[in-house]
Amino acid sequence: MTPEEICQKLQSAGIEVTYHDTKPDPFLLCTLQSYKQAALTLRDDPDLAFQSLMSLTGLEWPDYFEVASQLISYQKEHRVTIKVRCGKDDPSVPTLSDVWTIAEWHEREAYDLVGMTFAGHQDLRRILLPEDWEGHPLRKDYSPQERWHDISLTSEPPKTTHE
Amino acid sequence: MSIIEGRFEPNIIITSVDALFNWSRSRSLWPITFGLACCAIEMMATAASRFDQDRLGIFPRPTPRQADCMIVSGTVTAKMGERVRRLYLQMPEPKWVIAMGSCANSGGPYWQHGYHVVKGVDQIIPVDVYIPGCPPRPEALLDGFLKLREKIEQCTIAKKTG
């Protein structure tokens, strides 16, 4: 099925989702309310059968945060991108980790680097950076920290001399 | 080493023992098996049959307690930097460090915008030989080992290494 047909299929099931015909890859935009239901339908409907979540990415746009998920069905040999947006004042989207288990780590990465939270996630810790890191590096307003513990991260020459 | 350190001028005994020690140390450099990034692939190639670093007596050891030198082969992030330093401190004296590749030398391509990259492993541990390249070829790593050999041959047990 093409993404457009998949979108019509979801809409006929009563799920609020819009089709965006962007080049080269079109995507389906869900609302915060319809996001979880859309994911469950995409996974469980026998005509859609998206067993696999290939990637989940967090993005920051000027006015909102976005989560883009790429799904593939090896059984039906089709794929689709679904997105959901949340405001910057409340950067929280529902988790997909109870739909596709692998989303757990992807959502931890999005939390780590972009700083959005995932409601319902069981274990939302940093996954790449140290747990006591300050800030989220892929935010547009991020300013790098100069030290971590006793390790300098600036381009200055070392102040201490070794023997 | 520490007992006689600084107590003797170079004499016939010291220099003879130096020659023996330096010969044995420089001819059996055992690095700790430890790779950080793409440079580690070149390091593995150096250890494999085509370049065969074992013919120079360079043989990777699985634990820092048995190692003489450390090849920092790749990008040192802050999180990894603590582990690198801990491994270094676990190695017995005398010990040497080779910084392999641009990242270990100076941060490499992460010099300006690498928010999490240590700008050179010499900010964490002392480095004896720097090998440029991104990544350096196995020949360059072998050349680094030969440079380190020359450095070890200048050591004397009557003083601290270096």
Q: Which residues pair with A52 in a beta bridge?
A: A72
Q: Residue A137 and residue B126: Cβ atoms within 8 Å? A: no
Question: Distance from B111 to chain A by nearest Cα, in Å?
Answer: 7
How far is residue A120's CA from residue A103's CA, in Å, rounded to a whole number? Answer: 12
In a domain, A156, yes or no: no
Q: Residue B78 and residue A153: Cβ atoms within 8 Å? A: yes
In a domain, A150, yes or no: no
Question: Distance from B52 to chain A by nearest Cα, in Å?
Answer: 33
> Among B87, B89, B101, which residue's Cα sits nearest to residue B144?
B101
In a domain, A39, yes or no: yes
Q: First and final CA of chain B: distance in angstroms?
A: 13
Query: Average pLDDT for residues A34-57, to the nearest whole number?
Result: 94
Percentages helix, strand, coil for chain B (3-state, rounded to 5) are 45, 10, 45
Task: Check: CB of residue B145 under 8 Å from CB of residue B98.
Answer: yes
Which pLDDT value is given to residue B10?
Answer: 72
Which pLDDT value is given to residue B112?
Answer: 81
B31-42 pLDDT, tens digit per residue, is 998 899 999 999
A46-69 pLDDT, tens digit per residue, is 999 999 999 999 999 999 999 999
How far is residue B149's CA from residue B143's CA, in Å, rounded to a whole number? Answer: 10
- Tokens at B81, concatenated: 């930097």
Angle between helices B12-27 and B138-153 (to 10 degrees): 170
Segments of chain B scoring below 70 in pLDDT:
1-4, 6, 158-162
Domain of A112, CATH number, reads 3.30.460.80
User: Domain total for chain A?
Assistant: 1
A94-112 pLDDT, tens digit per residue, is 999 999 999 999 999 999 9
In a domain, A155, yes or no: no
Which pLDDT value is given to residue B9?
Answer: 73
In a domain, A158, yes or no: no
Which residues in chain A are closer than 8 Å to B123, comparing Cβ atoms?
151-152, 158
At residue B108, the 3 state secondary structure works out as helix
Q: What range defines the domain where residue A22 resides?
A: 3-141
In a domain, A88, yes or no: yes
Banded pLDDT at A160 (limits 50, 70, 90): low
ipTM value, please give it: 0.74
Banded pLDDT at A158 (limits 50, 70, 90): low
Q: Residue A157: pLDDT above 70?
A: no
Among A149, A154, A162, the residue with its CB nearest the CB of B119 is A154
Among A144, A152, A156, the residue with its CB nearest the CB of B115 is A144
In a domain, A152, yes or no: no
Non-local CB neighbours of B83 within 8 Å, separated by 6+ positions: none
- pLDDT averaged over chain B? 89
B2 and A CB contact within 8 Å = no
Q: Residue B78 and residue A154: Cβ atoms within 8 Å? A: no
Which pLDDT value is given to residue B92?
Answer: 92
- pLDDT averaged over chain A? 91
Question: Distance from B139 to chain A by nearest Cα, in Å?
Answer: 29
pTM of the model: 0.82
Which pLDDT value is given to residue B162?
Answer: 44
Which of A113, A139, A140, A155 is best to mutate for the B interface (most B CBs within 10 A)? Answer: A155
In a domain, A162, yes or no: no
